[in-house]
């Protein structure tokens, strides 16, 4: 029985072909294999340019190579969840050899490769049956911003009857169906619904009636976790979250209602004047907070801060900051007549 050899790969004992002329790799050579770098002018220019860019990146605090330990931990978590090497390498657009070197203790990795690997999210095998919680949450979130079952079905390529089954509580679904709906969610969650306005209104009203949170209330890394909860306000599960729900006109979630009831029970024995003063202070803090957050975030972004960095500096999640900025848009200056 003959052993199949993958194309464009050297067999055991053979060296892989050298990179083309005019590249930094050809100019550097392979010192560990005793192959010196090429001294032709195009190769020297490419190597000098790469060395200069690397020095600039190191001096700016964003080195070309970074520690590989966090990447190795992320890959192991994907493998433990049941995602294979081939699917990880395809999702990250890198070779399996790169993954093997990282898992075998490679200390440094190129930043670009690290970013691609860290961006890989767990996706089940296409034929595997999985829990439908995350997929159902995605459908709920899309309907909360006005997308219809028909629109989700058209975008995902999943029959509308399957989506209706998920809305009606189907506990499991195939991995390929989850992948398709997740891809549609990534696209539609950033876009306004299309089609008839009346159909979008029906979806929003149903979501409001059922208490389905929008995409901004979910952390993309935890939406598939059955133990996760949506965060509508950035402080859900606390009394401040309840006041933010109330003052911003957001439907009150169960966790915030429980927290507010406990807050009231703790102060039941206080004199009326003190109790009402604490109520007023709690309401005022929640009323002004979102507008101040939105204004602070816009000020940070004017100086080049990314949305995620602004959220981290302000002490809130990126999803909540996005929602706060939508609820408190920047005032446009009035135009004066010439």
pLDDT digits (tens, 9 = 90+) for 24-39: 888 888 887 788 888 8
Q: Comparing 281 with 166, which gets the higher pLDDT? A: 166
pLDDT of residue 63: 78
Task: List 195's β-bridge partners, or say none.
Answer: none
Average pLDDT over residues 233-245: 80
In order of 5, 6, 14, 16, 17, the CA distances from 11 in angstroms are 7, 9, 6, 9, 12
Most confident option among 193-197, 284-288, 316-320? 193-197
Distance CA 251, CA 232 (A): 9
For the cut 60, the answer to whether the pLDDT of residue 11 exceeds it is no
pLDDT of residue 66: 87
CATH numbers and ranges of domains, the chain = 65-118 (1.10.260), 129-217 (no CATH), 239-327 (no CATH)
Average pLDDT over residues 97-121: 89
For the cut 50, the answer to whether the pLDDT of residue 322 exceeds it is yes
For the cut 70, the answer to whether the pLDDT of residue 53 exceeds it is yes
Q: Which residues contact 288 (CB under 8 A, 6 or more apart)?
A: none
Check if the beta carbon of residue 230 is closer than 8 Å to that of residue 213.
yes
pLDDT of residue 5: 36
Distance CA 41, CA 149 (A): 61
Instruction: Give this prediction's pTM.
Output: 0.55
Average pLDDT over residues 139-143: 95
For the cut 50, the answer to whether the pLDDT of residue 2 exceeds it is no
Average pLDDT over residues 260-275: 86
Average pLDDT over residues 161-176: 92
Nearest residue to 155 (alpha-carbon basis) of 195, 122, 128: 195
In order of 77, 136, 213, 256, the CA distances from 204 in angstroms are 36, 16, 10, 22
pLDDT of residue 102: 92
Distance CA 178, CA 129 (A): 10
Q: How confident is the model at residue 283 (pLDDT cuts 50, 70, 90)?
A: confident
Q: How many other C-beta atoms can be found within 10 angstroms of the C-beta atom of residue 332?
A: 6
Check if the beta carbon of residue 29 is closer than 8 Å to that of residue 37.
yes
């Amino acid at each position: 029985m003959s052993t199949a050899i993958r194309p464009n790969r050297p067999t055991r004992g053979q060296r892989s072909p050298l990179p083309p002329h005019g590249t930094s790799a050809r100019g550097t050579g392979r010192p560990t294999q005793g192959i010196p770098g090429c001294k032709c002018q195009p190769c020297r220019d490419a190597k000098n340019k790469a060395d200069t860019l690397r020095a600039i990146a190191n001096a700016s605090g964003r080195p070309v190579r970074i520690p590989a330990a966090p990447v190795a931990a992320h890959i192991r978590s994907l493998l433990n969840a049941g995602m294979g090497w081939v699917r990880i390498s395809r999702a990250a657009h890198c070779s399996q050899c790169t993954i093997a070197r990282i898992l075998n203790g490679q200390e440094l990795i190129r930043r670009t490769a690290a970013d691609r690997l860290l961006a890989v999210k767990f996706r089940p095998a296409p034929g595997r049956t999985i829990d439908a919680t995350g997929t159902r949450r995605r459908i709920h979130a899309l309907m909360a911003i006005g997308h219809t079952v028909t629109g989700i079905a058209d975008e995902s390529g999943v029959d509308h009857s399957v989506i209706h089954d998920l809305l009606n509580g189907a506990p499991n679904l195939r991995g390929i169906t989850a992948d398709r709906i997740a891809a549609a969610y990534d696209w539609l969650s950033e876009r306004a619904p299309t089609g008839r306005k009346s159909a979008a209104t029906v979806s929003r009203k149903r979501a409001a009636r059922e208490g389905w949170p929008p995409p901004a209330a979910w952390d993309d890394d935890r939406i598939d976790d059955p133990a996760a909860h949506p965060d509508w306000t950035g402080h859900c599960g606390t009394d401040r979250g309840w006041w933010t729900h109330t003052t911003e006109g957001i439907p009150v979630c169960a966790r915030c209602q429980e927290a507010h009831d406990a807050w009231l029970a703790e102060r039941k024995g206080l004199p009326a004047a003190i109790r009402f003063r604490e109520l007023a202070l709690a309401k005022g803090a929640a009323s002004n907070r979102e507008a101040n957050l939105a204004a602070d975030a816009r000020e940070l972004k004017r100086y080049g801060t990314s949305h995620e960095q602004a959220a981290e500096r302000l002490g809130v999640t990126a999803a909540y900051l996005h929602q706060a900025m939508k609820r408190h848009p920047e005032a446009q200056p009035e135009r004066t007549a010439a």
